[in-house]
Structure 1
């Protein structure tokens, strides 16, 4: 079984996430795409993140009706900071030794891979796939290989659609009173409105 792993805070999940996930699943013939919701991502320490319950509810609403898309709670059920290498280890226990995992990262994140928790172990336990958007060509392979020998052979680069939507922009649009219709699935839009998410304090 070939499974894709797309992690994130999904604060909120938007149509860009879904379009890219669909493209990757079809292009790489994945059995399923696992959306791994982050509980306490170490690289966003200090950034105010919406509560897990709300982010989980929105993600489940966004993925409903697509049996190839699945929410994974592996990170939100583990106490403490979330590290990718631990996520892979837990998913291996859940899906068995025969499963093949493709772990997706933005290509700009490759430059920081040597600073991740146990990066060499991560490369051994899954296929890291770097998502490259239009106009991004440079990858510092020489510098990376000084830290992680053989990384170029272990990392696969794939092109993905350029979707100019971000969760940050969506939060800012809600806070300023602008519409986010068509940027998120209808069910997510309704959830954000009914739960007064992302509004400025005092504006609820």
Structure 2
């Protein structure tokens, strides 16, 4: 599972998903747009439109799934609920992984039922160059004894471990920067899949002119 607002989905999101598939030897990745993200402001674009953009971005890429389950659920988009749904779907012995970026990881102790996440899945943190900075005390306590250092060790059991992973291609693309560029009528070429860019421009999303 790779969740997020995908506001909008960009090549950094998609390339990370492909590399996670390869590095972790996963069967598939559910890319799950949040309907109501609990720890950030409401996205500018509707959940349905963000899902449509995600589907366009994924296209026919093997192993990537645009998963609408958080849009079909009422209330905040809690990852614990999404993982519980996936666990019910795949069974108790499946190796489930939730991937998240380093910035989100630093706030993990503030998430809804953070211990429950480890009961349901492994967590994989997509690291950035300064990931060795000290962790907040509550986060260090949450992950104590859970960290492994390679994908093989991660997959020894269905859930409960943490792997910090530097992906081969770390594309420094920011959805915030893309939204700002669109609002200012500046080019976003080569930051988004062409089909995503075309739909955004055609529908004047993010206040394009």
With normalisation by structure 1, the TM-score equals 0.88
Which structure 2 residues correspond to residues 31-110 of structure 1 after superposition, within 5 A?
A: 31-45=27-41, 47-110=42-105
Matching residue of 2:115? 120
**Unmatched 5+ residue regions in structure 2?**
149-160
Q: Distance in 2 between matches of 1:26 and 1:147?
A: 28
Q: Are residues 1:150 and 2:150 paired?
A: no
Matching residue of 2:176? 168
CA RMSD after TM alignment: 1.9
Q: Are residues 1:184 and 2:179 paired?
A: no
Aligned length: 196
**Unmatched 5+ residue regions in structure 1?**
none
Matching residue of 2:158? none
Q: Distance in 1 between matches of 2:192 and 2:68?
A: 21
With normalisation by structure 2, the TM-score equals 0.86
Q: Which structure shows the higher strand fraction?
A: 1
Residues 121 and 182 of structure 1: is their aligned pair in 2 closer, same or farther, counting only changes over 3 Å?
Answer: same
Note if contact 1:74-1:91 (Cα within 8 Å) is conserved in structure 2. no
For residue 12 of structure 1, the aligned residue among 2, 8, 22 is 8
Cα-to-partner distance string for 1:88-117 (whole Å, 9 max, x where unaligned): 001122233332211011223333222211
Matching residue of 2:166? 159
